[in-house]
Amino acid sequence: MNKSMRIGLLTGGGDCPGLNAVIRAVVKTAINDYGMTVIGFMDGYEGLILNRYTTLDKNSVSGILSRGGTILGTSNQANPFNFPILQNDTYVYLDRSSEVVANYERLGLDCLIAVGGDGTHAASAGLEKLGIQVVGIPKTIDNDLVGTDQTFGYDSALVTATEAIDKLHTTAQSHHRAMVVEVMGRYAGWLALGAGLAGGGDIILIPEIPYEIEVVCDQIRERNRLGKNFSIIVIGEGAKAQGGDIVIKRIVETSPDAIRLGGISYQLAAQIEGLTRLETRVTVLGHLLRGGSPTPYDRILATRFGCEAVHLAAQRKFGRIVVLKGQCVESILLEEVAGKTRKVPFDSPLIRSALSLGVSMGVTSERIEEMMTQPQTVA
């Protein structure tokens, strides 16, 4: 039965290193183990809506393991249930899920493997209710998907951010400056926390813990008192001051998640410079974190995810998403993931390690201990 299976494959949402590795794994496993046919849709759900696809074979995926990006392309605006169409200089939003179902059936597909973040999987969960058989694969540099210990893309972004912080150390020391490094991560602080620890950051500010500007400046002043006349501050784009709001860079009307974060680092740097009189500079890493070749870890994780997704499809275990639990690749129900965000828990071992190293999280130690006793909900 599996030899006649036809599976669709798409990569949705923001790109990240490792997407080509997972495409390669899906195609090779499907053909080698089961003799399946693989149909790749261009630009995420946009390809399934507009019926733009290509048949993928082993030649199609030759030599792509180490390449960043995705050979299929992607889109973070192609929501099948709320698809933007420009009419008379104004966007209108249409439910085109019926077209997705029609194209899926017209191509004789038995399953759709969707690779993406929370937005992609929320759409997948909706399509599953319309009869499309879905298997999900988690990816994002933000590492913020519920149910999996890690997503592929995170390790590669972490390496890029850490290398940038390493380089900023020397110029910060030379000029006796405070350096604020802003990283992506949206509303979760995994990337800022990991890069801050790996790069030797002196202050790490994450969305989960609204910071107090006086506590931040006190840490900088204390370092200066000890003869350390420079400081590295790593901040997640979704961080905010206590009593303040997130900083929105722009609004993308046509995107399911219209808010684009960015700019908190400039606000913070101005405050630091004004309160400490220490020259402060900003580096925003931005989309640099999404680019480049995937690390060996991400290549292996993406490969394991891709292989397991095909095995699930062959076993007709649909409505599930592949996840990493410890060192094991497993699967959970797609509905457990869709539309949810995994944030850094207050009692995270990473936070505890940072505090043991003398790193400031932007609040007093008493406040941190108080937060560790509080329940934390998934957004």
Q: Do domains 2-152+294-336 and 157-291+345-372 have the same CATH topology?
A: yes
Contact at 8 Å (CB) between 153 and 141? yes
Q: What is the mean pLDDT of residues 150-173?
A: 96
**Which tokens belong to 107?**
């191509």
Say yes or no to pLDDT of 379 above 70: no
Instruction: With a cut of 80, say whether residue 376 has pLDDT above it.
Output: no
pLDDT for 365 = 84
Query: Is the pLDDT score of 7 beyond 70?
Result: yes
pLDDT band at 91 (very low <50, low <70, confident <90, very high): confident
Q: Compute CA distances 292 → 123, 162, 225, 289, 362, whole Å.
A: 28, 14, 40, 8, 31
Per the CB < 8 A criterion, the answer to whether 187 and 332 are in contact is no
Cα separation of 102 and 98, whole Å? 6
Query: How far is the C-alpha of 193 from the C-alpha of 59, rounded, in Å?
Result: 40
Residues 337-361 have a mean pLDDT of 93
Task: Give the C-alpha distances (Å, rounded to integers) separating 121 from 45, 112, 166.
Answer: 11, 12, 35
Quick one: pLDDT band at residue 2, thresholds 50, 70, 90? Answer: low
Report the length, in residues, of the chain: 379
Q: Tell me the Ramachandran region of residue 110: left when phi exceeds 0, alpha when psi lies from -120 to 50, beta otherwise.
A: alpha
Name the average pLDDT for the chain: 93
User: What is the percent of the chain where pLDDT is above 90?
Assistant: 83
Query: Which residues are catalytic, by number?
Result: 142
Which pLDDT value is given to residue 378? 54
**Residue spans per domain, the chain:** 2-152+294-336, 157-291+345-372
Q: Which CATH architecture has domain 2-152+294-336?
A: 3-Layer(aba) Sandwich (3.40)
pLDDT at 259: 80
Q: Which tens digits make up the pLDDT trace of 237-262?
A: 999 999 999 988 877 766 667 688 88
- What are 354's two structure tokens? 């940072």
pLDDT value for 1: 46
372 vs 357 pLDDT, higher one:
357
The 10 Å Cβ neighbour count of residue 216 is: 27
Type of residue numbered 34 = Y
Least confident of 54-68, 168-182, 289-303, 362-376: 362-376
pLDDT reading at 295 higher than 70: yes
Q: Which of 233, 217, 229 is nearest to 175 (CA)?
A: 229
CA distances (Å), origin 346, targets 155, 188, 215: 22, 12, 18
Pairing of strands 203-205, 231-236: parallel
| Percentage of the chain lying above the pLDDT 70 cut | 96
| Mean pLDDT (whole number) for 177-188 | 96
Beta bridge partners of 321: 136, 332
pLDDT of residue 249: 80
Using pLDDT thresholds of 50, 70 and 90, give the confidence band for residue 42. Answer: very high
Average pLDDT over residues 153-168: 97
| Residue with tokens 């840490």, as numbered in its chain | 219
What fold, for 157-291+345-372? Rossmann fold (3.40.50)
Residue type, 188: A
289 vs 329: CA distance, rounded Å? 25
